[in-house]
Amino acid sequence: MDYEAPPVVGQWYRRADRPQPFQVVALDDAAATVDLEYFDGTVDEWPLAHWYALAPEPCEPPQDWTGPYDDIERDDLGTSEDGTSGGKTPDGLS
């Protein structure tokens, strides 16, 4: 059975046959294509017919947003080892 829900730009999805999540980043109605970005930063373009045949399911976005960035160190994230901001607050916030 084909999937009937159209892709939504900004929504994260997962295919049953592949666990890696991906986000819809653009739709081209004239070309009938959907542009995707996988968690690791890989970009792909599918024909809309392919989208409906593969039946991707909506999913939550990854909690670790660093997937597409190969060279980020934990120190660059502005967090402490326990995942908190280390007591720092952004400028203008208290």
Domain boundaries, the chain: 1-61
Instruction: Tell me the pLDDT of the chain (94 aa) as tens digits.
Output: 445 789 999 999 999 888 889 999 999 999 999 999 998 889 999 999 999 998 899 999 888 766 555 555 655 555 555 555 444 444 554 4
Lay out the sheet containing 57-59: strands in order across: 43-47, 33-38, 18-28, 12-15, 57-59
Class of domain 1-61: mainly beta
Q: How far apart are CA 74 and CA 2, in angstroms?
A: 42
For 15, residues 6+ apart whose C-beta sits below 8 A from its C-beta are 54, 55, 56, 57
This prediction has a pTM of 0.67
The one-letter amino acid at 45: E
Sign of CA dihedral 73, 78, 81, 82: negative
